[in-house]
Structure 1
Amino acid sequence: MLKEKLKGYTIVLASGSPRRQQFLRELDANFEVRLKEVEEIYPDSLKGAEITDYLAELKASALEETLSDDEILITSDTIVWHEGIALGKPKDKEDAFNIIKSLSGKTHEVITSVCIKNTRKSETFNETTKVTFNPLTDEEIAYYLEEYKPYDKAGSYGIQEWIGLIAIAKIEGSYANVVGMPVDKVYQYLMKLA
Structure 2
Amino acid sequence: MPDSNPAVLDFLLTRRSRPARTLRPPVPSREELRTLLTAAARVPDHGKLEPWRFLVLTRPATRRLAALVEARGAALGLEAEKIAKAAAQYADADLAVAVVQVPRPTDRIPLVEQTYSAGAACLSLLNAALAAGWGANWLTGWPCYDPVFRREGLGLAEGESVAGLVHIGTPTAPVPDRPRPDLDRIVEWVEA
TM range (shorter): under 0.3
TM-score, scaled to structure 1: 0.24
User: Which protein is richer in strand relative to its size?
Assistant: 1
TM-score, scaled to structure 2: 0.24
User: Which protein is richer in helix relative to its size?
Assistant: 2
**Is the radius of gyration larger for structure 1 or structure 2?**
2
